[in-house]
Amino acid sequence: MTFRRPRKLVLLVATAVALVLLCCGGGLTVLLLNGLNSNDDNRLLNASFGCGQGGVVDPDSSLPRIRPYSTEEIRNAAIIINVGADLKLPPRAWVIAVATAMQESSLSNLGHLGTRNDHDSLGLFQQRPSTGWGTPKQVQDPVYASTKFYNKLKTIDGWESMSLTRAAQKVQISAYPDAYAKHEPLATEIVNSLADGAAQAVGNSANLECAAAGQIAASGWTIPVKAPVGSGFRSPERPTHQGVDLIVEKYRPIIAVASGVVSLVKCDEDFRGRKTCNVDGYPGKGGCGWMVEIIHAGDVMTRYCHMVQRPFVRENQQVNAGDVLGRIGSSGNSSGPHLHFEVHLNNDRSSSGAVNPVRFMQQQGAPLGNEG
């Protein structure tokens, strides 16, 4: 497969464009009704975007400057995205691929590096001809290298819900398996910038329904439960409320919003020091009841409170986005069945580390219910 350098895109405002958006199980197909046809050199995306938004990626257009990468390196990222789109893979795969190339080559198409070279590793992904990735010439072709990466990714069962670093490691078999995680935020930004927001499902009811149906955004995040937001974050009525309450009936499954490691599972003590979590609580009792905390990439911690029974996970367990943690209940300081959900930055479990979950989840492309 050879990458053909496309001609500059004509102004889309002069082109009649029909966008057919089939969300949650469909795809976004870009159809040009006038001026271009399916054989045109412009590499228009005909891709599965899930429930995100997306657009044309033209590697030869005036690409945005995204520091610390050069124009040529961002062009390589655009090629990686295009190949993923051509293969009908969702934006989550593009983020994984771009982040992997960021770690392996800083988005540079590496040639032979002499004594600095890691064995015979070449190209965007440091693929090794000696281990079957292709000839030296092939693995230095960005389209070929990207295709090989995606084809290997597709063979990994459950890659869509894995943490980025686990999925990348299963493809690359790197000596530094945890190194990929640090690139996830900027890789998501690059995909959003080049593909018109494809890595985020921003803010409409269709996207909320998609997330609620179990879809995982390209950022790797999803919602913990489909439910409206009742009591909000640090509202005037509850200024010390460090999360949001998602109001839903008892026994509904609660899922992990992103991959990570379970850092805490416990029955939280009430104000009188009692651990009585197997019964419904009441306002003023104190405590989170049955609760779980998870540490995600970037030292983000999420907290889930008031479960009806002992959670299904254990401390130090690795979980994927979408794994069931427990069930909705009303244990602890609670007036009725709901999930109290918190997000903390820098693994700071105190109130100073807490951020508004509604705003944070919106930024991840997994919006919670409308705040009530």
Q: What is the pLDDT of residues 111-129, one digit of tens each?
A: 766 555 556 788 888 888 8
**Residue 60 has what pLDDT?**
58
Distance CA 135, CA 153 (A): 20
Written as six digits, the tokens of 300 are: 């983000």
CA distances from 366 to 197, 217, 266 (A): 13, 6, 27
Strand 244-247 and strand 338-344: the pairing is antiparallel
- Report which residue type is found at 137: K
Q: What long-range pairs does 200-205 form, CB within 8 A, spacing at least 24?
A: 200/52, 200/53, 200/363, 200/364, 200/365, 201/50, 201/51, 201/52, 201/53, 201/365, 201/366, 201/367, 202/52, 202/53, 202/362, 202/365, 202/367, 203/362, 203/367
Residue 109: C-alpha distances to residues 20, 129, 231, 302, 349 (Å):
35, 15, 51, 38, 42
Average pLDDT over residues 87-115: 85
- Residue 201 is predicted with a pLDDT of 35
pLDDT of residue 268: 96
At residue 35, does pLDDT exceed 60?
A: no
pLDDT computed for residue 1 by the predictor: 38
pLDDT of residue 154: 93
336 vs 219, more confident: 336
> Which 3 state secondary structure label does DSSP give 245?
strand
Who has greater pLDDT, 327 or 121? 327
Q: Once rounded to an integer, what is the mean pLDDT over residues 269-287?
A: 94
Asked whether the beta carbons of 343 and 243 are under 8 A apart, the reply is yes
DSSP structure class, residue 329: B
Instruction: Specify the pLDDT at position 314.
Output: 94
Q: Would you put residue 158 in left (φ > 0), alpha (ψ -120 to 50) or beta? A: left
Q: Are 198 and 52 in contact (CB under 8 A)?
A: yes
Q: Which two structure tokens, joined as six digits, stand for 23? A: 């969300």
At residue 192, the pLDDT reads: 83
pLDDT for 56 = 46
Its sign, for the CA torsion 317, 319, 323, 327, is: positive
* pLDDT the model gives residue 151: 93
Question: Between 104 and 53, whose confidence is greater?
Answer: 104
| pLDDT higher than 50, residue 207 | no
Output the average pLDDT for the chain.
Answer: 77
CATH class of the domain defined by 225-363: mainly beta
pLDDT category, 298, cuts 50, 70, 90? confident
> Could you read off the pLDDT of 144-201 as tens digits, one per residue?
999 999 999 999 998 987 888 889 999 988 766 678 888 888 888 888 888 765 655 3
Partners of 328 in beta bridges: 307
Ranges of each domain in the chain: 12-194, 225-363
Sole residue written with tokens 């995306």: 45
